[in-house]
């Protein structure tokens, strides 16, 4: 059995293209693998709080010594980390806002990347003291942007602070394999946009076919 | 006269190094130019909300046609944009969290970069339809990170999703000149860290000297 964390970051509901891609992936998956567990987490609709001074102090304090305020600050982090730990596949559907993650998605990242939970810190490792504690997870990253040319080698690749950033931090979620599908040209609303939507939808359908074959379907 | 927006993004108070650099810049400035106006905005202490569906719909709706919910959603955006419009210099002090902006700072960015306020969108401009409405502002970007090697050409430069991202979006705040000072090695707490702090402090002092000379001191 595969457990999927279906993470959605768009602030929009009906007209979100990233949301559409995420729903398409999940619907396709359910048709082929109806017994898999899907855990939805809609940070676009309910953004996690930004981390606070109590959060940081609590994360660096042994669990039994935490103040009630520190425990409160970490409660949502514990819940969100639990969802990451339990899943095999993260389907992350997000728009590009101002060339990067929506603040709501960055709030989720800041809640789940946590010392002694998703990574350890050890200076005996030398100049590379961080190491993830999780491994073997797959991420399907579904994005939508108003402009275009954000792929490597294209004209706005140096302005893409969304996908490269998620590639960097996903290491600390135990992600060792990433697949992407991206819609571009949303603000132009022209034939290039229509073509980009169609290509991304085909890519999503292809990823469903591919990953339902490669990810475990037998009960653990 | 120069008006300074003093923006602070760290969730920590007493022990924040980025906060220390920001305070050092402002203290130095006040000594040399006591009559300038300093507007503090501490998004680390009070994070702005993530933008919502009402925010997006409202931003694309003419002001007189907005619903009360859309007006409410845009109120904090109006206030934060007003602070950007009114300033000549943005002193932005921020830690690197998970290789990028703290969520609270990204929330601020998503609130202030707004169609028909800080940029216009016009398809007659072709494939580059966005243009900022503001210009001529200077940014002093003061950062702190736990690891090191994030400068261009160094070993973690490809993992720096903080400074390059802020360079990209600051265009839409009317920023045409950026100066940076960065503390690294915070997690190591070794001599390299002490040296990095001392160098960043010297750099801040130098920037105060330089910019108090170049920015207008005569009443407008």
Whether residue B130 and residue A147 make contact (CB cut-off 8 A), yes or no, is: yes
Query: Can you tell me the mean pLDDT for B170-184?
Result: 97
- pLDDT tens digits, B29-79: 999 999 999 999 999 999 999 999 999 999 999 999 999 999 999 999 999
Residues of chain A positioned with their CB less than 8 A from the CB of B121: 187
Whether residue B107 and residue A50 make contact (CB cut-off 8 A), yes or no, is: yes
Q: What does pTM read for this prediction?
A: 0.97
Whether residue B12 and residue A56 make contact (CB cut-off 8 A), yes or no, is: yes
Determine the Cα–Cα distance for residues B54 and B156; give it in Å rounded to an integer: 39
pLDDT interval class at B216 (50, 70, 90): confident
Average pLDDT, chain A: 96
Given CB atoms, is B42 within the 8 Å cutoff of chain A? no
The structural domains of chain B, with segments of one domain joined by +, span 3-214
pLDDT interval class at B19 (50, 70, 90): very high
CA dist A53 to A72, A161, B165, Å?
A: 12, 26, 24
> Would you state the torsion angle of the CA atoms of residues A56, A83, A184, A193, taken in this order, to the nearest 10 degrees?
-150
To the nearest whole Å, the CA of A170 is away from the closest chain B CA by 10
List, as one string, the DSSP characters of A98-160.
Answer: TTB--HHHHHHHHHH--BTTTEEE-GGGTT--EEES---EEEEEEEE-SS---STTSTTGGG-
What does the block give as tokens for B198? 């001392």
Determine the Cα–Cα distance for residues A190 and A188; give it in Å rounded to an integer: 5
- pLDDT tens digits, A143-178: 999 999 999 999 999 999 999 999 999 999 999 999
What per-residue confidence (pLDDT) applies to B218? 60
> Is 90 exceeded by the pLDDT of residue A138?
yes
Residue A144 phi, psi (nearest 5): -140, 135
Q: Is B160 helix (H, G, I), strand (E, B) or coil?
A: coil
CA dist B199 to B166, B183, B184, Å?
A: 22, 8, 10
Among the partner residues B11, B99, B158, nearest to A51 by beta-carbon distance: B11
Element spanning B103, H or E:
helix B103-112
Q: What's the CATH class of domain A3-214? A: alpha beta
Given CB atoms, is A216 within the 8 Å cutoff of chain B? no
> Is 80 exceeded by the pLDDT of residue A75?
yes
Tell me what percent of the residues of chain A surpass a pLDDT of 90: 96
- pLDDT tens digits, A80-99: 999 999 999 999 999 999 99
What per-residue confidence (pLDDT) applies to A220? 47
For chain A, state the CA radius of gyration: 18
What per-residue confidence (pLDDT) applies to B219? 53
Whether residue B49 and residue A47 make contact (CB cut-off 8 A), yes or no, is: yes
> Is 60 exceeded by the pLDDT of residue B126?
yes
What ipTM was assigned to the predicted interfaces of this complex?
0.96
Whether residue A98 and residue B110 make contact (CB cut-off 8 A), yes or no, is: yes
- pLDDT tens digits, B79-102: 999 999 999 999 999 999 999 999
Among the partner residues B50, B127, B159, nearest to A11 by beta-carbon distance: B50
């Amino acid at each position: 059995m595969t457990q999927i964390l279906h993470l959605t970051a768009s602030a929009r509901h009906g007209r979100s293209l990233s949301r559409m891609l995420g729903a398409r992936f999940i619907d396709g998956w359910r048709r082929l693998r109806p017994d898999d567990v899907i855990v939805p987490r809609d940070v676009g609709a309910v953004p996690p709080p930004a981390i606070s001074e109590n959060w940081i102090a609590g994360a660096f304090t042994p669990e039994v010594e935490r103040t009630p305020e520190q425990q409160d600050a970490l409660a949502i982090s514990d819940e969100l980390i639990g969802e990451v730990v339990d899943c095999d596949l993260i389907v992350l559907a997000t728009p590009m806002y101002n060339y990067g993650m929506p603040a709501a998605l960055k709030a989720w990242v800041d809640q789940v990347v946590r010392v002694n939970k998703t990574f350890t810190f050890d200076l005996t490792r030398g100049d590379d003291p961080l190491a993830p504690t999780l491994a073997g997870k797959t991420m399907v990253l579904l994005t939508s942007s108003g402009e275009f040319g954000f792929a490597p080698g294209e004209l706005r690749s140096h302005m893409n602070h969304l996908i490269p950033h998620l590639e960097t931090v996903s290491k600390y979620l135990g992600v060792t394999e990433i697949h992407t599908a991206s819609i571009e040209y949303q603000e132009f609303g022209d034939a290039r946009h229509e073509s980009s939507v169609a290509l991304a939808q085909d890519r999503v359908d292809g990823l469903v076919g591919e990953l339902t074959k490669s990810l475990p379907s037998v009960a653990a």
